[in-house]
Amino acid sequence: MKAAYYIKKDRLHDDPRFISLKQQLEEDGLECYEVKATADLQPSTGMLLSIGGDGTFLSAATIAAPAGIPVVGVNMGRVGFLSANQPDEVAPLIKSGEYLLEERSVLEASVHGLGPIDNPFAFNEVCVSRLGAAMLGVDVTVDGVPLPTYWADGLLVATSTGSTAYSLSVGGPICHPASRVLIIAPISPHNLNLRPLVVPDTAKVEIVVHSRDAKVRMTMDNRNMEVEQGARITVQMAQFSLKMLRPSKSNFIEALKSKLFWGEDVRNL
């Protein structure tokens, strides 16, 4: 079997932790090679190692998901919520087979009249936000049913996996990654009686942004583009999911407590 790996920061090629990991995998009989795009994946590749932090994982996800290859997040960064495996843990984990394969939802975005978007997929969220100083009016429909207009700096549609990312920072709920939901959350809303909304992940969400500025920003995870104000943006589930490899003993609740210090309180000591 072959193991591909993706590195975003070139300096990690010389990191002793990565060199040791690669050597261990090759000693265990895996052929390791580097990729930069889905087209680089070779036949008989069983997994893609994301070498870095959570930002690197998001980029690796767009490479692996269309090919149906699981991603192994190797934490060379700081928080490592998605890249949860320490470098010295990965080779023994793969060799022992004591891991689980999880399937996570992937979003797909399109802009009416714009034509195909290069890499229109997102693992955490699709977001629209202002480019200038003007507040936005955001009209949203869910399966054709209109919501009240959001007056805000922007709006995002997040997966349950993305609930602990940007969505959490704008006041959205934490959702277990096994939850089949989408989160619609405004960014710095000016109408305070409109709260984040959780809908089934089968929903088709359409967004039209009105602004005094000619263009607004649309972001898909860690990639962004500019679109005309008034354009109709559609966000829905992609036709494929992302496979993640994680230790069988890992636990989402424990990750919340250790990575995000969830419930940290002197009364709980």
Distances (CA, A) of 80 to 52, 55, 258: 9, 9, 11
Q: What values do phi and psi take at 252, rounded to 5?
A: -65, -40
Spatial separation of the C-alpha atoms in residues 10 and 128, rounded to whole Å: 30
Identity at 185, one-letter amino acid code: A
Instruction: Point out the catalytic residue in the list 15, 28, 54, 201.
Output: 54
What count of other Cβ atoms lies within 10 Å of the Cβ of residue 17?
16
Any bridge partners for residue 150, and if so which? 138
Residue 153 among the catalytic residues = no
Which residue numbers are catalytic? 54
